[in-house]
């Protein structure tokens, strides 16, 4: 059977043709059904590992299901969400999309629910925080494809050189360690990337460590809650105003630049994810990893992140989509993708297998944090707008003349207005 892999260098004409075939439900060769799948490219080095993963997986599936072809198209993370949105708007939705968000499609009634697609054992196997994050109005539409968590990273050599014998367990200890690192002339005692690249992640980690978050238990935005305001007051006073966040203002510092500085050995502490641990170790940095401290001890929760896979209704292939996704979520396939990309499985059984395998020992701290993690409120259609506002404005909360409560109040009012328009 013929599978067509359209990589990042494919022409616009070829992409359009693939979309038309997908939208019309045209099949190839002797197939009864062709399922179209658009997936994100996870290869950080410009290689073809993502394409090879899907090629091997679909070949194995097609061998067992001779009436089905899977037509795969790989897109960069910069483009994949937009291209799927364009396909849907043009009435040519893929059967399956593996992308960053599902809520808008669910709200428009364009997606199958999880229980319409998956067998009960597969649906019940997702980790609880990921299942919850995949729900809109208590119905699951987003199927968590892969996950990660965030931990406090520290450079063990810089700690030792500065006379720091233990990683911090409270905010006060974190500030004290940063002061020692500054005295030892470390460029970034604590790197605080509140620039627009991924400020919503850094912000959420700190809000959780301060005892709150983006939303309350009822799912309503509480960005300017008293606890959240106190968190940013502390960040501004104890880290930024004290000169402990390095030569670049937090609002101008993007995550990518902070991570690169850590891998060069210029950062004492920052919040990081599994891929950074691998890159830093490759460059000779000995990394310590612990949960981000809370104000007086352990933080309320660790931040988790998930990417999503979903099934679109447009072409009417519910049965075939569901059977294929059951196969995608087998332990073998889940572990293969997560392990190859230094990420975490979204299922209980694959997580248990990874945790028991010495080959994945470097991921153990992240695995331990995932079951109790908190994720972005991705089930809210307003989240994309709110996240964009946070990325653009949150860095201003720690500027020299800023009043953190004023900045958070403005973001909070915009969030509440966006929520009211859902």
For the ranges 2-16, 85-99, 268-282, the lowest mean pLDDT is seen at 2-16
Band of pLDDT at residue 31, cut at 50, 70 and 90:
low
10: left (phi over 0), alpha (psi -120 to 50) or beta: beta
d(CA 315, CA 312): 7
Mean pLDDT (whole number) for 120-144: 96
d(CA 213, CA 43): 31
The per-residue pLDDT for 338 is 95
The per-residue pLDDT for 111 is 98
H or E segment to which residue 39 belongs: strand 33-40
Task: Please determine, for residue 23, whether its predicted confidence score (pLDDT) is greater than 80.
Answer: no
For the chain, what is the mean pLDDT?
Answer: 91
pLDDT in tens, 333-350: 999 999 999 899 999 999
Beta strands in 150-286 (DSSP E): 151-155, 188-190, 267-272
pLDDT in tens, 43-94: 877 789 999 999 999 999 999 999 999 999 999 988 999 999 999 999 999 9
Q: What is the CA radius of gyration of the chain?
A: 22
For the ranges 136-150, 179-193, 256-270, 298-312, the lowest mean pLDDT is seen at 298-312
The per-residue pLDDT for 300 is 72
H or E segment to which residue 409 belongs: helix 404-420
| Full DSSP string of 102-143 | -HHHHHTT-B--HHHHS-HHHHHTB-HHHHHHTEETTEE-PE
The per-residue pLDDT for 225 is 98
The per-residue pLDDT for 301 is 85
The per-residue pLDDT for 361 is 92
Angle between helices 199-209 and 383-393 (to 10 degrees): 90
pLDDT in tens, 353-382: 999 999 999 899 999 999 889 999 999 999
Tokens (6 digits) for 238: 């104890």
Mean pLDDT (whole number) for 298-304: 85
Task: Please determine, for residue 20, whether its predicted confidence score (pLDDT) is greater than 50.
Answer: no
Mean pLDDT (whole number) for 392-416: 97
Q: pTM of the prediction? A: 0.85
Tell me the three state secondary structure of residue 7: coil
Total residue length of the chain: 422
The DSSP letter of residue 145 is: E
pLDDT in tens, 209-242: 999 999 998 999 999 999 999 999 999 999 999 9
The per-residue pLDDT for 16 is 38
Mean pLDDT (whole number) for 121-140: 96
The per-residue pLDDT for 372 is 85
All residues at 6 or more sequence positions from 388 whose CB lies less than 8 Å from its CB, including other chains: none
Domains identified in the chain and CATH numbers: 12-148+305-372 (3.40.190.10), 151-301+382-420 (3.40.190.10)
Q: Is the Cβ–Cβ distance between 73 and 34 less than 8 Å?
A: no
């Amino acid at each position: 059977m013929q599978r067509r892999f359209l990589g990042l260098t494919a022409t616009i004409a070829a992409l359009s043709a693939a979309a038309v075939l997908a939208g019309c439900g045209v099949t190839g060769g002797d197939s009864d059904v062709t399922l179209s799948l658009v997936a994100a490219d996870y290869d950080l080095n410009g290689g073809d590992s993502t394409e090879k993963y899907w090629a091997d997986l679909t070949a194995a599936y097609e061998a067992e299901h001779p009436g089905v072809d899977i037509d795969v198209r790989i897109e960069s993370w910069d483009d994949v969400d937009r291209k799927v949105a364009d396909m849907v708007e043009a009435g040519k939705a893929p059967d399956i999309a593996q992308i960053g968000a599902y809520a808008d499609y669910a709200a428009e009634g364009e997606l199958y629910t999880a229980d319409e697609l998956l067998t009960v054992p597969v649906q019940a196997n997702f980790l609880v925080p990921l299942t919850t994050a995949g729900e809109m109005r208590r119905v699951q539409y987003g199927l968590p494809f892969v996950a990660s968590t965030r931990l406090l990273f520290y450079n063990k050599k810089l700690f030792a050189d500065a006379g720091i014998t233990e990683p911090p367990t409270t905010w006060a200890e974190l500030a004290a360690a940063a002061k020692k690192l500054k005295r030892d002339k470390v460029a970034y005692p604590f790197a605080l990337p509140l620039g627009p690249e991924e400020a919503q992640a850094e912000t959420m980690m700190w809000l959780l460590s301060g005892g709150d978050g983006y939303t309350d238990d009822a799912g309503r935005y509480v960005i300017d809650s008293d606890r959240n305001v106190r968190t940013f007051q502390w960040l501004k006073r104890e880290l930024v105003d004290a000169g402990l966040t390095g030569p670049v203002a937090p609002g101008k510092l993007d995550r990518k630049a902070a991570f690169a500085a850590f891998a060069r050995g210029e950062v004492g502490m920052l919040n990081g994810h599994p891929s950074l641990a691998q890159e830093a170790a490759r460059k000779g940095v000995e990394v310590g990893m612990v949960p981000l401290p809370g104000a007086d001890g352990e933080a309320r929760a660790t931040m988790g992140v998930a990417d999503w896979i979903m099934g679109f209704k447009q072409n009417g292939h519910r049965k075939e989509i569901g059977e294929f996704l059951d196969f995608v979520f087998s332990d073998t396939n889940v572990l293969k993708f997560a392990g190859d990309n230094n990420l975490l499985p979204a299922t209980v059984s694959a997580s248990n297998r990874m945790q028991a395998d010495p080959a994945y020992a470097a991921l153990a701290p992240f695995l331990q944090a995932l079951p109790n993690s908190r994720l972005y409120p991705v089930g809210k259609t307003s989240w994309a707008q709110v996240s964009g506002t946070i990325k653009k404005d949150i860095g201003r909360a720690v500027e020299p003349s800023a009043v953190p409560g004023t900045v958070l109040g403005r973001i909070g009012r915009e969030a509440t207005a966006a929520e009211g328009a859902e």
